[in-house]
Amino acid sequence: MPPLINTPVYFGNFLVTPQVFHLTTHSFALVNIKPLLPGHVLVSPRRAAKRLSDLNHAEVTDLFLTVQQVGRMVERFYGASSLNIAIQDGPAAGQSVPHLHTHIIPRQSADLDGQGGSDAIYGMLEGEEGDVGKHLLERSSRRPKFPTVDDSTRKPRGEEEMAEEAHMLTREMVQQQLHDTASQSAL
């Protein structure tokens, strides 16, 4: 499946163009290689800024408006009742790719009861299963393709699967934008 955009998009050093489902002036949204829960996506600035404090005013505004818009879409599309929105701002905070990114994770009541409750998501983000950089490196040609997976329930996804999800979510973003426009007009 061809990428939705013609311009290469990088997340740190990783080319992620086929994973991108939404692009704005200063930000992009992409599907996650190894989502913690269904619908777990990332929103990142187009410029490879490492930290939130590295962004200028226009980039911060665009990033958070994009997080809000993508969040509404994934919550609706995945039938969630809430969202986790998280930024690991720097290596000591668990950031695994030196490119600022916001995790958006759709949540449902009791979705992690078998893993310690709703707050278990924070340990998942900080642990090996949330290490986006590691999973991207494993996919790259610099390392062997996907060694043994660290758990039996979450498997890294292939390029084609992520591209298909990106296409599906692109269509959903168009629907969300139409809905948002209609809601704004009603005010």
Token reading at 3? 């990428």
pLDDT of the residue at 181: 87
Q: Specify the DSSP class assigned to residue 2.
A: -
Q: Rg of the chain's alpha carbons, rounded to an integer?
A: 16
pLDDT of the residue at 138: 61
pLDDT of the residue at 65: 98
pLDDT of the residue at 110: 83
Token reading at 153? 């329930």
pLDDT of the residue at 169: 92
pLDDT of the residue at 87: 95
Residue type, 174: V
101, 30 Cβ separation under 8 angstroms? no
Phi, psi (5° rounding) for residue 76? -65, -50
Q: Which residues pair with 27 in a beta bridge?
A: 45
Token reading at 16? 């992620």
> Is residue 22 annotated as part of the catalytic site, yes or no?
no
pLDDT one digit per residue (tens) for the chain, 187 residues: 555 678 899 999 999 999 999 999 999 999 998 899 999 999 999 999 999 999 999 999 999 999 999 999 999 999 999 999 999 999 999 898 999 999 999 998 888 888 777 777 878 887 766 566 565 656 555 433 323 323 456 677 888 998 899 999 999 998 988 888 888 888 7
Q: Which residues pair with 11 in a beta bridge?
A: 14
From 22, 101, 103, 135, active-site residue = 101
- Give the integer Cα–Cα distance in Å for 137 and 157: 13
Q: What is the pTM of this model?
A: 0.80
- Give the integer Cα–Cα distance in Å for 40 and 25: 22
Strands lying side by side in the sheet with 27-31: 20-23, 27-31, 41-45, 102-107, 82-87
Cβ–Cβ contacts within 10 Å for residue 160, how many? Answer: 10
Cα–Cα nearest to 169, from 85, 87, 72, 98: 72
